[in-house]
Structure 1
Amino acid sequence: MPAASLADTDPLQVLVYADSLSWGIVPGTRQRLPFPVRWPGRLELALNADRGTPVRIIEDCLNGRRTVWDDPFKPGRNGLQGLAQRIEIHSPLALVVLMLGNNDFQSMHPHNAWHASQGIGALVQAIRSAPIEPGMPVPSVLVVVPPPIRTPRGPLAPKFAGGEHKWTGLPQAVAELCAQLDCPMFDAGTVIHSSAVDGVHLDADAHVALGDALHPVVRELLPR
């Protein structure tokens, strides 16, 4: 048999760079939803069902990840640190889906929607300028704005106290930023809500709905 070429074997790779909303934490627990249910998995399955070229979703979703700020209690939650190297590690990438922002509004931070949008902008620039091997593509970036924080409940209540107010205006601030950067954006709050259980994370049905909503958006951004 002839050796398979790279075109025969290598899928298009999409990196999801995100936090616990995409990791798939079950609200009110420390459990994780299964891959076919959480939105990156739902998206991969849908893309592979209707494309000739296979697609692989790479999940890089860290609980508590901010855009560009440190967590004073847990190391490694600054999303800017190591991002360029992640792009290099996973290259070639066809697309990076960036869904961060809500952890910027934890109670230990004074940030508002404008601050978070600027953090997102720094991440987009880092992705676009990351070191990659010669001839490999600079991936496109899709910014997904997370849904609004509700009144935080349960163990998350002190961590996210006041977060629902700090979040206000995030879609508008990110839309303005993405227009300046010529970067596509999707507002998850137009199709899903945060869980009523803890006010922050996503229930299983929200994951499914978000994966389904992102399917046509991502499909159009991938090379044909």
Structure 2
Amino acid sequence: MRHILVYGDSMSWGLIPTTRKRLNFEERWPGVLEIALNSADKHVRVVEDCLNGRRTVWEDPFKPGRNGSQGLAQRIETLTPLSLVVVMLGVNDFQSMHQNNAWLSAQGLAVIINTIRQAPVEPGMQIPPILIVAPPMPYDPKGMIAPKFVGCEEKCEGLAEAYKEVAAAAGCHFFDAGSVVTCSEYDGVHLDADQHLILGWELVGVVSSILK
């Protein structure tokens, strides 16, 4: 059995918009991906490491442990051998307490990639390939999370293109989730259940190709 690590934030954790509840495993996109791959006899286990509020390299001044580059190398070491690491981060880089743009977030992504590749895995074990998934862009944030994302739409403009450039330069695989799904109309930031289903199925072909 091959193992895939999904490294992400609340969008992949499966936060149900306007609530603090979580979609069931089979409803959120990493679960949809695992079930579909195993139905096609790929024999995989998808390991989720998705923390609400996680950034690429920035700290949350109000909650500890949201810098995605911290502890990542040890996480890779713990789970080795891995057949693939899927990284879907970025939206939280544009929370209102950060003055980031797409280029800066992409530099944070480059640190994430380098951290994965420099992980101290056991001798003879290979560093896994990396799939970068650019998240769909938030729009018109609403409800309890709205103050966190004031101005995010302008700051994150061009993120998919910036992430694609970093992925290409680093020799990583790339997929733009925004090409197939959109953020929820209820909170403007997270994914509704139907969008999780779409994204999970869209990634089946991408991941299958990499695993070959």
Length-normalised TM-score, structure 1: 0.93
Tell me what 2:163 maps to.
Answer: 174
Tell me what 1:20 maps to.
Answer: 10
The amino acid of 1:214's aligned partner reads L
Which of 38, 57, 61 is residue 48 of structure 1 equivalent to? 38
- 1:167 deviates by 1.0
- 1:28 deviates by 0.3
Tell me what 2:208 maps to.
Answer: 219
Tell me what 2:19 maps to.
Answer: 29
Which of 164, 170, 177 is residue 188 of structure 1 equivalent to? 177
Tell me what 1:163 maps to.
Answer: 152
- For structure 1, list consecutive stretches of 5 or more residues without a partner in the other structure: 1-10
Determine the C-alpha separation between the residues in 1 that align with 2:100 and 2:24: 33
Determine the C-alpha separation between the residues in 2 that align with 1:38 and 1:64: 17
Matched, 1:114 2:107: no
Tell me what 1:69 maps to.
Answer: 58
- For structure 2, list consecutive stretches of 5 or more residues without a partner in the other structure: none
Determine the C-alpha separation between the residues in 2 that align with 1:141 and 1:114: 20
Length-normalised TM-score, structure 2: 0.99
**Identity score, percent:** 58
The amino acid of 2:27's aligned partner reads V
Task: Spell out structure 1 runs of 4+ moving beyond 4 A.
Answer: none
- 1:82 deviates by 0.2
Structure showing greater Rg: 1
Q: Tell me the SS of whatever aligns to 1:216.
A: helix
Determine the C-alpha separation between the residues in 1 that align with 2:123 and 2:183: 41
- 1:180 deviates by 1.0
CA RMSD of aligned residues (A): 0.7
Q: Tell me the SS of whatever aligns to 1:144.
A: strand
- 1:98 deviates by 0.1
The amino acid of 2:15's aligned partner reads I
Which of 101, 126, 130 is residue 137 of structure 1 equivalent to? 126
Q: How does 1:122-133 map to 2 (within 5 A)?
A: 122-133=111-122
Determine the C-alpha separation between the residues in 2 that align with 1:157 and 1:138: 39
Q: Tell me the SS of whatever aligns to 2:77.
A: helix
